[in-house]
Structure formats: structure tokens, C-alpha cells
Structure 1
Amino acid sequence: MRYIRYASIAIFALALILVALANREMVTVRIVPEDLAGFTALNPAGQVPLFVVIFGAILAGLILGFIWEWIREAGERAAAARQAREMQRMRAEIKRLKAEKHEGKDEVLAILDDGR
């Protein structure tokens, strides 16, 4: 199983290297489109290789997706925490009730009845 994981990582790395080598030409990246540049005081632009733009867009999409999922699952995490607290409360109550049931009885019989 470890070799399959290493092979998958190697194939993915090779694909990324091939994309980077195939897209080395320089492109101009601007924050604001040229048509709207008159409305802004600054319009920074820079020359970067195309693969940097591609990988940056993929990374930004991954980060946004992770944040979106984390926000979406907040309700499920809260429900799981509530259930865990309720389960702990129920276990404590069962333990207390068993202790009350065996109060004043033989300790060996209480341990055997407890199921441990």
C-alpha cells in the first residue's frame, strides 16, 4: 500500500513538473482590468510565468474549498460535541445508579454484577 502511495505522489509530481515546463512563457498579471484602471489610483501589474498563475489559482481554489467545508460542517461538529456531552452524562448517571443499587451489598457480588 505504501508503494501505491509513493507511485501516486510521483505521478502527480511528474504531472506538475510537465505543466510547469509546458507553460513557462511570461504573462502580465493585473489586479484591475485595464478598462477600469482609470477609476483606481493604483493598478499594479507584474510579469510572472503562466504556470505560477495556474498553480496559484489551484491553490486559491483549494483554500477556499477547505474554508467552505469547515464552515459548512460547523453544525455537524456542534451536534457531535452535544452528543458526546450527553453520552458522558448518561454514563455518569448509569454508574451512579449501579452504585445505588449495590449499596450495602457484598462488594464481590457488586463487582461481578457490574460486568467488569
Structure 2
Amino acid sequence: MRYIRYACIAVFALALIAVALANRGMVTLKVLPVEIAGLFAVTPSVELPLFVVIFGGIIAGLLVGFVWEWLREHNIRAENSRNAREVRRLERQIKRMKSEKHEGEDEVLALLDEAS
């Protein structure tokens, strides 16, 4: 199973390297459209290889997706936390009630009753 995982990683790495080699050309990445940049008298732009722009877009999309899912699942995590606290509270209550049930009894009989 480990070798299959390594083989998949190797194929994926080769595909990424092939994309990077095929898209080495420099592109100008502009932050603002020309019309808006003219209004503010600033033209923020940077020259990058195309594969950096492609991989950057993929990474940015993954990060946005992870954050979106984490925020979406907040209610589920909060409910699970509340349920876990309730379970612990009920377990403590059951333990307390069992100890109260055996007050004044013989300790051996209480242990036998608790085991069953």
C-alpha cells in the first residue's frame, strides 16, 4: 500500500513539473485594471512565470476552500462539544447515584452490585 502511495505522489510530482516546464514564460500580473489604475495614478504589477501564477491560484483556492469548510463545520463541532460535556456530566451523575445507592451497605456487596 505504501508503494502505491509513493507511486501516486511521484506521478503527481512529474505532472506538476511538466506543467511548470511547459509554462515558463513570463507574464505581467496586474492588481488593478488599466482604467482604475489610471484614476489612482498607480499601476501595481509584477512579472512572474506563468506556472507560479497557476500554482498560486491553485493554492489560494485550496486555502479558501479549507477555511470555508472549517467555518461551515463550526456548528457541528460546537454541537459535538456540547454533547461530550453532557455525556461527562451524566456519567458523573450516574457514578454519584451509584455511590449514594450503596451508602450504609457492606462494601463487598456494593462492589459486587457495581460489577454487574
- Measure how far apart 1:105 and its partner are: 1.4
Amino acid in structure 2 at the alignment position of 1:26 = M
Distance of 2:70 and 2:93 partners within structure 1: 34
The list of structure 1 runs, each at least 4 consecutive aligned residues, that deviate by more than 6 angstroms after superposition, is none
Instruction: Name 2:41's counterpart in structure 1.
Output: 41
Amino acid in structure 2 at the alignment position of 1:78: A
Supply the RMSD in Å over aligned alpha carbons.
Answer: 1.3
What percentage of residue pairs aligned between the two structures are identical? 61
Matches within 5 A, 1:70-89: 70-89=70-89
Residue segments in structure 1 that go unaligned for 5+ positions in a row: none
Classify 1:32/1:110 alpha carbon distance in 2 versus 1 (closer, same or farther; 3 Å).
same
Shift of 1:9: 1.2
- Match in the other structure for 1:24: 24
Structure 1 residue 63 displacement after superposition: 0.6
Q: Deviations over 1:3-37 (max 9, x none)?
A: 12211211111111111011111111010011221
What CA distance in whole angstroms lies between the structure 2 residues aligned with 1:31 and 1:54? 16
CA spacing shift, 1:112–1:43, aligned 2, 3 Å: farther
C-alpha distance in structure 1 between counterparts of 2:41 and 2:77, whole Å? 45
TM-score, structure 2 normalization: 0.93
Partner SS for 1:8: helix
